[in-house]
Structures are given as structure tokens and as C-alpha cells.
Chain A
């Protein structure tokens, strides 16, 4: 009985962990898309051009 209870508890832990992971991965995906969108806008508007990268280094 105690073993069964512990097993159920363990199962719940994993389910919670999986839910948290995938909710976080969803957020992560949205952040990724937003960052890519901002980058694209910067390049399209010409704010970031071919000299930008070289200007970052000595």
C-alpha cells in the first residue's frame, strides 16, 4: 500500500515535471521567434547592415 502510494507520488512528480518542462519550452519557443523577428526587422530596416559585424571587433 505504502509502496503503491509512493509510486503514484513519483508518477505525479514526473507528470508535473514534464508539464513544467513543456510549458517552459513553449515560452522558450516564443522567445526564440520574437528574437528572430526583431533580428529580421533590424536587417530589413537597414539598422543592421554588412558593416555591423565587422564593427564589433578590433
Chain B
């Protein structure tokens, strides 16, 4: 199921079954990262070639490659000198220099090489490793199909996104987590819990079966499949309703994943604002992390905090479902045998991996990481974990699962989730980038 949250039983006994799919995701992820590195390099070359081209047109460029290189070095040394004298606050980065053959080709032809144009175009339309893994994965799954031998492993690859979420904690200070987290908490309470409560009451009013409304409230409100499975036994969901609800959640999540980055661009959302939006509106971790990464690193930093707050709400949504569907009706008919064991629910449902994230933030706050280590963890290694996980997500988007959406669940869940996405977009844009920026 696409980005679903059903737990993977990682045991040594299951390893042989998972290994082929995990290896497939590793190779697929590596290929996508290779593609990503290549197009980013081409885009850097494109930008530099554009500068060279404009110099050629103005007659300022030299035909001699060494003279071009020397001029770049001189400019860098001059900027470095200014920085060392304290005249510039920011240390200049080393200049990007075109390779000899590219420089000569640009100089003599006076045009932009096609591969550089292509690289720039790919970045502009956000065809990075995230898009490649999701789109190509989905295409493979729904055309040539995924042989049975790979299925267990590709499902097991999806949670490999989570260690990336944990190590990303090295990028935050507690002041950022608390500042963005408090606003995130308000957003989660208003929109995520709000959606769940709205669906419960709407379901009651529209005489929708409790099982169906309860599962949809948990799934569309909080955390997709994972929350829906947690709530299903509480609300006596029928299997048919459950699968309708899951289908709806998956369909909505998949649509969001592929459209939100473009909608964000159309609405002119900055990266932190987009991160806050997807953190609130997209229903599960894998999908929102993918959409945020697709948009940019700053977007991911914000979305990650909101997501941590959101998944922390799973026990609360289960408590709400127990109260609304079990305790309240029991109280109405004076049945005192049904009681709510709050501590037990919290202990059983709390996603403990987020504690790892908090440990990382604390280590960073205490100065345990150098800037280089932070970049290695939060940029390089993060990409490796995400690439393997996104490969698993893409290869598990099966149209057959999405077609399970239907019935009243589809209407209620889809309308409520869409409403939540629209209102959340308006709210985060009004709040503005400053509040969501992780420095």
C-alpha cells in the first residue's frame, strides 16, 4: 500500500524473504541518486556557462581556458581577503569552474550545450531523485509489475525513511523545535484533530456506520493506515468499510504527493511554508517527507517537526475514538463497565522512534556535532535513507489498491481531507515563513 504505515515485522526469520526487495530498493535508490547528482551538476554547469556566454556576447571572455580559470581564482581570493579583513560577513565559497572542454565548446559555439539545458530543465520541473523514485516506481509497479520475490522487501524498505528523520535531528536546536513545534501543535490540534472530530460528528449526523466513520476519522485526520488499523477494532469496523477507507486515504495521499509540490510553486509558497502545509495536510509520514524533500531541504526541516508532533497524536486519536464510540454510548445507557485506560493506550500506541529525534536535537544543542558532521548526517546520509525508502514507496503504489476507494467513506474522507488541505494552506500562508523557518 502506498506509503502506508502498517508495521514491518523486522526479524531475522523474515530477512531472507525481505532481502531481494531491499536490494532492489538499494539499487533503484542508488540509480536515482546518481541521476540526481548528474542533473544537479549539469545545472551548476548551466549557470556558470550562462555567465560565460554573456561574457562572450559582451566580448569580455578570453579564448584561453587558463585565463578564465585564473580570473575566477583571483575573484575568489579578493572576496576571501575582504572576508578576512572583516569587510564581508559571509565567507565566500570556492568558485565553480567549467571543465576545459565545456568552456571551449561554449566559447566557440556561443550556445548552451544541450545536456546542460536538459539538466537545468529537470531541476526546474523538480525531477529530482524523489520524483524519479516515486514516478518510475509507480510506473514499474503498474506496467511490468513487481515479481512476488521482491514484494516483502519493497514493503520493508519504506520505513527506512525513518532513520533519516531521526538523524535529521542533528540540524535542529531546541529553540527551533519549540518555536515551530508550538505552532505545529496548534495546527495539528486545529486541522488534524479537527478533521477527525468533524468526520465523527458528520458521520453520526449522516447516519454513517460508526465503524466506517471512525476508521475514516482516524485515517484522514491523523496518520493514514496506521491510525485506521489502531481504531478499527475500537469502532467495530467491517472489513469492507475498512478497505474503502484505506483506499480513500491512499488515493488522497498519492494525489497530494504528486500535486502539492506544483501547487506550492503556483501559490508562491516559500520552503518553510510549504513544509508546514504538507506536515499538516498530507496524511502519512512517507508521503509528506517525500513531498517536502521534493520541494527542498528547508521545507523538509519544517515538515519534519510538524510530522513529529502529528504522529505523537496517534494515541490521542485512539483515545478520542474510544471515548466517542465506546465510553460515551456506554455512559448514555448507564453501562459503567467500559472505562478508558489512558496510560495503557499511550504506552501501546506512542511511536517511540520520535524519541531518537529528540535525542539528536539534544546532542546538537550540547555541541556534539561539527558543521561537517551535521551536513554528512542531515544531507548526505539522509538522502541514502530517503532514496531507499522512496523506492519502496514508489514500487508499492498499486492502482489496484487505490481503486478500493469508494462508497460513503470516499465522499466523507475526501471532502474532509481536501477541506483540511485548503484551510491549512490558507492558515500557513497567513502565518508566514518567519514562524516556520528552521535556522
> Which residues of chain A have a CB within 8 Å of any CB of chain B?
7, 10-11, 13-15, 17-18, 20-33, 35-37, 39-40, 43-44, 48-50, 52-53, 56-58
Contacts and interface: CB of A to CB of B under 8 A. Distances in A.
14 contacts: A14-B232, A14-B237, A18-B233, A25-B226, A27-B7, A29-B162, A29-B351, A32-B166, A36-B166, A39-B377, A49-B372, A50-B375, A53-B376, A57-B33
B229 A43 contact: no
Interface of B: 5-11, 30, 33-34, 37-38, 159-160, 162-163, 166-167, 226, 229-230, 232-233, 236-239, 242, 348-349, 351-353, 355-356, 360, 372-373, 375-377, 379-381, 383-385
Contact of B6 (A10, A21, A44): A21
Contacts of B230: 18, 21-22
B7 A33 contact: no
A16 B6 CA distance: 14
Given A33-B166, A50-B372, A27 B353 contact: no
Contacts of B229: 17-18, 21
Contacts of A13: 239
Contact of A24 (B7, B233, B352): B7
A27 B356 contact: no
A40 B372 CA distance: 13
Contact of B232 (A17, A28, A32, A35): A17
Given A22-B230, A44-B373, A39 B37 contact: no
A26 B160 CA distance: 14
Given A14-B232, A50-B372, A53-B376, A27 B11 contact: yes
